[in-house]
Amino acid sequence: MLDLSRLLPGPYATQLLADAGADVVKIEDTDSGDYARMMPPYTDEGVGAVFDSVNRGKRSVALDLKSEGGREAFLALAEHADVVFEQFRPGVVDRLGVDYESVRAVNEDVIYCSLSGFGQTGPEADRVGHDLNYVGMAGLLDLTRESPGHPPQIPGYPIGDMAGGLFAAFAMVGGLLSRELGNTGGEYVDVAMTDVVNSFSQAVAYDALDGEDPRPGETPLTGGVPWYDVYECADGRYVTLAALEPKFWQAFCAAVDRPDIADKHMTDDPAELAALREEIAGVFAERTRDEWEEELGDVEAMVAPVQTPRESLESDRADARDLIEREDGVPRVGFPAKSSATPADGGGPTPGHGEHTDEVLREAGYDDERLADLREAGAIQ
């Protein structure tokens, strides 16, 4: 697959595919390449850590797509590609001459996927944006606050970027599968990150589409009920309680020796809800977070600690799941699924800028003389 994306959302999509065994050829410009190469923080090798995290096992080809030679080289590669993936603003690939129709002219069976903030169509298609803009416009940010009177809180992870990348990977695999099954030939896929975050709203979408605006802190999954909430412990750290089902609520009440509140589950009386929340808060305030984990970690009470990113990534769970990879001594979060048929060619080091230009173009039929001419013209690096 040919990957024209940069920064985080698109490279995350193709990283997932590279980890699954895809031959991802990262197309970078001949100037500085993917901006993320230069973005702090940096690895010990001086490479941007985000770039390093989402470009493992790919091959890098540096082309000047604004030049005739660079565009022709790209189309020569596209002729034999299964997938072309881009993340430019709408209209950029058309101006460069590497849009779907141009690629389809040399490869009618290609799966061509575009990932953008607001999609290729609609009133916001040309609007610029980043993750925070997407989650804000998708309604997610409104529900991150404690209550309607509190300001929205920026999520700790760039949910729109990562969700968009994940869905783009899913869409590309879906297109490939449909083609291989003979249901379709090549096709064009338009993925908007804001649409994907909207798709995450299923738990509140019915009310929203029925004319009601779900309010933060008032829906069952945003703290509206005391049996699904976050509680402070004696050491100022936090635990989560998610006892939605009666059996888990009963297990929680038994484990903390509070049979007196067992029959309050699913009450909708405001006074009882407030009193129950206060009782639960009092229970958790009696011990530290780690003490509660020791006490309830093996109990089916739906209680878990709120961990920092470092705690989570260094946990026994992450270790047991082989989640962290250390290629060339650099730690990275690896592919999050385990398979009995893991591809032998998945993974690998992060490529240098243009490291594989000659190698990949030779595979497309370019000889040394032609490569030298393109390099002299500045079309490749």
Would you name the residues annotated as active-site residues? 161
Side chain identity, residue 225 = V
Map tokens 């490529």 to a residue: 351
| Residue 357, both tokens | 């230009």
Instruction: Please report, for residues 82, 175, 180, 203, 247, the alpha-carbon distance to residue 184 in angstroms, rounded to integers and kept in the order given.
Output: 14, 8, 8, 33, 47
Choose among 350, 337, 347, 354: nearest CA to 49.
Answer: 350
Q: How many other β-carbons are positioned within 10 Å of the β-carbon of residue 153? A: 12
**Displacement of CA 138 from its chain's centroid (Å):** 16
Cβ(125)–Cβ(161) below 8 Å: no
Choose among 196, 111, 203: nearest CA to 161.
Answer: 196
- Rounded-to-integer distance, Cα 159 and Cα 136, Å: 11
Q: How many other β-carbons are positioned within 10 Å of the β-carbon of residue 293? A: 17
Side chain identity, residue 127 = R
| Residue 141, both tokens | 């940010």
Cβ(48)–Cβ(350) below 8 Å: no
Q: Checking DSSP bridges between strand 238-242 and strand 228-232, what pairing results, if any? A: antiparallel
- The sign one gets for the Cα dihedral 294, 295, 297, 302 is negative
- The sign one gets for the Cα dihedral 59, 60, 65, 69 is negative
Cβ(178)–Cβ(200) below 8 Å: no
Cβ(287)–Cβ(295) below 8 Å: yes
Cβ(197)–Cβ(160) below 8 Å: yes
Q: Which helix (H) or strand (E) holds 325?
A: strand 324-327
- Rounded-to-integer distance, Cα 324 and Cα 166, Å: 19
